Chain A
């Protein structure tokens, strides 16, 4: 399985993926830099520490979440397209091996996504600690990034399933729509917001503390279901 994971990572990171993820990381880093107001200098940032820290955390969370969800949708499309399923011929001896190949691909995608999310979070933490007087890493920051990764994993597996099922570039539309609705509806208290946050991990720094909506067990169950769905759909398709 270790060898298969290594191979899948190499297949996921081709020139297109490296360029897209690299550019996305630069955009997220720039957004975090702007959110920090680091240009004002230590003295200027010393006023209103609590408000600045709250604002910095919220803006970084949104930037990291948007970047990671975009990366998730991209990897779900790029990693599970028809062409991306072709390498299986080198690594399966029979159709019985296909589920193992698909599972390794999904795990490799989640690992890559986690690395991307952790890079964004590390940049936020290092910049906050080094260039501002108001930010100190808290446990709630770790909870926030964990939730961002859970949400992104949902979108990665959701997009992977859609890509395998539809084999079309338009398969990204439902994921983008869902991500947009989740971002705009969450916290509004509508039925749609409740349904979305029931299935997808999503939180925010409301009134100073980090709060995530929904039930973790249900959200974890949804991810497990999508993982199995992705593997099943991949295994049901021809490898050619």
Chain B
């Protein structure tokens, strides 16, 4: 296996406290990696550093750059329809137009959201919005999939579907998931990275 993401001595501090301190960790180019730890341990911060949406000290080498990212906190445009949003997200990320429509249909169908495709976000529940958040991350079949608390707000059936698609993607690409429920991801060859107070305290393959 090749190294897809190499995090070397990365530090990100938030005022008055929080962030990560001198974190070094490597991720192979396929497989499931779970980031676990208590609130404020630095899981989300580490993910944001890898995605590259925040500034940090240290170095992160990521190959390839094709990353799908579903953040824990997000804002969706209230009056835009689900389909219009996903189409825009796909176009901005240069997903081929011919492929984009089919891919959106496929993912909306998978998550049982076909009837919501033309509804604006202001009429959707938090669970529906979370499904759109996951779908936008999967749109361009990224080589690196980064999901921050992907099961948040989902009902049991949707959780199972989300876990199934994560399991499927982990066979082909690198998947990093931040979660408080590692026991939900019963997948062989998974790796668990535990963070506490902004530092990695344990790594194991389980």
Contact = CB atoms under 8 A, between A and B. Distances in A.
Interface of A: 3-4, 6-7, 10-11, 13-15, 18, 83-84, 86-95, 238-240
Interface in B54-90: 54-55, 65, 67, 69, 71, 73-80, 84-85, 88-89
A215 B205 CA distance: 69
A125 B65 CA distance: 54
Given A93-B93, A94-B52, 13 more contacts: A4-B92, A7-B85, A10-B79, A10-B84, A87-B76, A88-B53, A91-B92, A95-B55, A238-B48, A238-B53, A238-B54, A239-B53, A240-B73
Report whether over half of chain B's contact residues are helix, strand or loop; otherwise say mixed.
Answer: loop
Interface residues of B, number: 27
17 contacts: A4-B92, A7-B77, A10-B77, A10-B85, A11-B77, A13-B79, A83-B75, A86-B74, A87-B75, A89-B53, A89-B69, A90-B74, A90-B89, A91-B92, A93-B65, A238-B55, A240-B73
Contact of B48 (A10, A11, A83, A240): A240
A10 B52 CA distance: 25
Contact of A95 (B52, B69, B79, B84): B52
Given A14-B78, A91-B89, A240 B122 contact: no
B91 A240 contact: no
A14 B74 CA distance: 15
B75 A240 contact: no
B154 interface: no
A95 B67 CA distance: 13
Contacts of B54: 238-240
Contacts of B75: 11, 83-84, 86-87
A88 B52 CA distance: 12
B52 A6 contact: no
A185 to B, nearest CB: 39
Of B67, B78, B89, B93, which is in contact with the most chain A CB atoms at under 10 Å from its CB? B78
Of A18, A89, A238, which is in contact with the most chain B CB atoms at under 10 Å from its CB? A89
A91 to B, nearest CB: 5
B192 to A, nearest CB: 24
A95 B53 contact: yes
B97 to A, nearest CB: 11
B90 to A, nearest CB: 9
Contacts of A94: 52, 65
B53 A92 contact: yes
Contacts of A6: 88
Contact of A86 (B73, B78, B84): B73
B33 interface: no
Given A88-B53, A94-B65, A240-B48, A7 B74 contact: no
B178 interface: no
B88 A14 contact: no
A3 B89 CA distance: 9
Of B55, B85, B88, which is in contact with the most chain A CB atoms at under 10 Å from its CB? B88
Contacts of A83: 75
B130 interface: no
A103 to B, nearest CB: 14
Nearest to B90: A3
B136 interface: yes
A7 B52 contact: no
Given A89-B53, A90-B74, A10 B80 contact: yes
A15 B93 CA distance: 27
A15 B122 CA distance: 9
Contacts of B79: 10, 13-14, 18
Of B65, B77, B84, B89, which is in contact with the most chain A CB atoms at under 10 Å from its CB? B77
A91 B75 CA distance: 12
B122 A3 contact: no
A70 to B, nearest CB: 22
Interface in B75-126: 75-80, 84-85, 88-89, 91-93, 122
Nearest to B80: A10
